[in-house]
Structure formats: C-alpha cells, structure tokens
C-alpha cells in the first residue's frame, strides 16, 4: 500500500513565509452535512452566493455523495448548477467515487476533492471500504478527473486521532499525504476531524510533513471540539502553513465521528489572522453577516465568538434584507 514507498525529498530550508493566508470555506459542504434540518435548495444557493461576495477565493460548494448516507446533500447537482460562479472564486466539490465524479462533471465542476484516512476503522465507516480499497478507488477517480482536466485536492481525516483507533502516527499520515501528492493532488488538507489536536501534536505532525514536501502543499483543517483550533492555527502559521479550512458560524461535524463539533469558525479565524497582521482578502464584516444568515436559517446559535461579539442592530438589519 502507500506505506511501502519512500517519501523524503530534497527541500529548501527557509523560514521566509508569505503574509497572505488562503482561507478555504467549507461551510456549504462540511458545515451543513451533519445538520439534521434539511435546508431547501434556494437557501443553500443564497448561502453560497453570499459567501462569494466576501472575498473568499475558495468555497467548497457541495458533495456528490449518496443522499442515503448524507441526506443534506440530496440536491448537490441543483445547488451547483444554480449558484452564481464569481470570477476568481473556485467551487470544489467532494467526490467519494466514480459515480459521484460523473455527476460532478455533468454539472460543470472544475475542481474536486477526494478523501482518505490513516485509520482502517474510520475508512470502513466513512467510505465502506478498507484503506487499500479506498486508495484504488482514489486512483480511479484521479485518472478519470485528469482526463476531464479537473484539478484535484486531497483530504486526510483523523490526522491526530481517530474515534475508533485513538492516536494516529504522524509518519503514517505523512506517507498517505505523499501518496496523494504523487497521484496528482495539487494540495492536501490535513483534518483534525475529532478536534483532539494540540499545538505540540500539530508541530510533531508538521515536522513529518516537512519531510514529504514543502509545507506550501498542505492545508490545515481544524475542528474545535476541545477549543484548540485557534491555538493549533497559530502553531501551523509558525511552522509555515498558509492555507486553512474553516466554516462560517462554526458549522460542521462528522456523521462518522460521534461527539465531533464544528470546524473553526471562519469569522474567528479571520479575526485572528488579521490581528496578526496577515492578509486574507476576505471582508470580516461581510462574513459575520453570512454567519448570522445561515444560523438563522438553521434556527441554531451562531458558534462563532467573533460573529456574536461583532453583532449589531445594523448587522441584523443587513442579514434580514
């Protein structure tokens, strides 16, 4: 399997990092997938269109999975067809198999995301196949995607810990990331799915990742189950990561990871990054408005501390327009 190959490469040793951070918004997919209240298609379209006006460069729009397993994604094709595609914004979609890829190509998707995990148990729960079987499935998807000139992003779940197997070994995660890059992923997002990461653990993992490739190839995807997401983000920044996934209003969770809460809130991430003097190109005030909009639609409390702190009567009026 992927662990049999060497993955150490000759890399530059530089601590000169960019002041620009790319924020990948995953709210419409990772954020909504675990919500029990089914959101109507027009609301999802409006949600994504609002996000498109904030300055984001990447918005993960939906997932072409079976609605039997993820009911919220029942309308993925209609959502993708109806959203306004803003110039300069990418709208990747998550793909579990060749059938999902076929549907994505039919609606004109330009970028896909594929996913794996270093945990055998999580793989069986999440993809209904073993790690080896999932690797073969990804190879098939990537081969077909390349024929259609699609760009491919990779996801690795449970990079720190798994709800079934406990702690994950950094070397195993690194080997899997190396395999995804070799298969053709331009970028690999490293996901702390159950939110058990700490700065020490994140630093240890990134030390292994540096042996795989330049850290510019990797994103960090933190869930905030234990309130460690911003601290972990700081560690990632200090190590050189400049791509972070987040979900507006702190939406999220995983159907196959009991107890896992939402992603780090995009509003909280933006406030932190901007106060550190870093650039994102994203308007925080507009993002706050979107966070309150989708929270109202879901009839649930906004999980973003910054979003709630910046809430004003004027903001509420704009949300309700």
Tokens of 4: 């049999």
The Cα 111–Cα 53 span in angstroms is 20
First to last CA, the chain: 53
Rounded Cα–Cα distance for residues 175 and 169 (Å): 10
Pairing of strands 151-156, 111-116: parallel
Rg, the chain, Cα only: 18
List Cβ neighbours of 247 (8 Å cut-off, separation of 6 or more).
Answer: 25, 26, 27, 30, 31, 262, 263, 264, 265, 266
Taking alpha carbons only, the member of 266, 264, 272 closest to residue 288 is: 266
User: Which residue among the candidates 143, 162, 254, 320 is catalytic per the annotation?
Assistant: 254
Rounded to whole angstroms, the Cα distance separating 269 from 205 reads: 21
The question of whether 143 is a catalytic residue gets the answer no
The residues that are catalytic are: 254
């Amino acid at each position: 399997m992927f662990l049999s190959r060497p993955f150490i490469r000759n890399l530059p040793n530089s601590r000169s990092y960019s002041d620009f951070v790319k924020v990948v918004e995953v709210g419409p997919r990772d954020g909504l997938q675990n919500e029990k209240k089914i959101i109507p298609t027009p609301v999802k379209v409006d949600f994504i269109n609002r996000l498109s006006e904030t300055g984001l460069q990447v918005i993960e729009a939906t997932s072409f999975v079976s609605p039997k397993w993820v009911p919220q994604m029942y309308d993925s094709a209609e959502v993708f067809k109806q959203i306004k595609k803003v110039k300069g914004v990418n709208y990747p979609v998550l793909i579990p198999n060749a059938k999902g890829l076929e549907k994505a190509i039919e609606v004109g998707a330009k970028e896909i995301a594929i996913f794996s995990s270093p945990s055998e148990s999580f793989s069986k729960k999440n993809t209904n196949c073993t790690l080896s079987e999932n690797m073969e499935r990804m190879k098939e998807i990537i081969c077909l995607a390349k024929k259609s000139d699609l760009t491919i992003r990779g996801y690795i779940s449970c990079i720190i810990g798994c709800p079934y197997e406990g702690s994950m070994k950094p070397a195993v995660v690194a080997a899997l990331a190396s395999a995804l890059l070799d298969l053709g992923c331009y970028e690999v997002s490293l996901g702390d799915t159950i939110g058990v990461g700490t700065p020490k653990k994140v630093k240890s993992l990134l030390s292994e990742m540096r042996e795989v490739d330049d850290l510019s190839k990797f994103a960090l995807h933190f869930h905030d189950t234990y309130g460690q997401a911003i601290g972990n983000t700081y560690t990632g920044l200090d190590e050189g990561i400049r791509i972070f996934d987040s979900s507006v209003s702190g939406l999220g969770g995983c159907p196959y990871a009991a107890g896992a809460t939402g992603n780090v809130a995009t509003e909280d991430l933006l406030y932190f990054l901007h106060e550190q003097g870093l650039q994102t190109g994203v308007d925080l005030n507009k993002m706050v408005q979107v966070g309150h909009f989708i929270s109202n639609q879901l009839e649930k409390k906004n999980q973003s501390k910054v979003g709630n702190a910046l809430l004003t009567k004027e903001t509420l009026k704009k949300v309700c327009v």
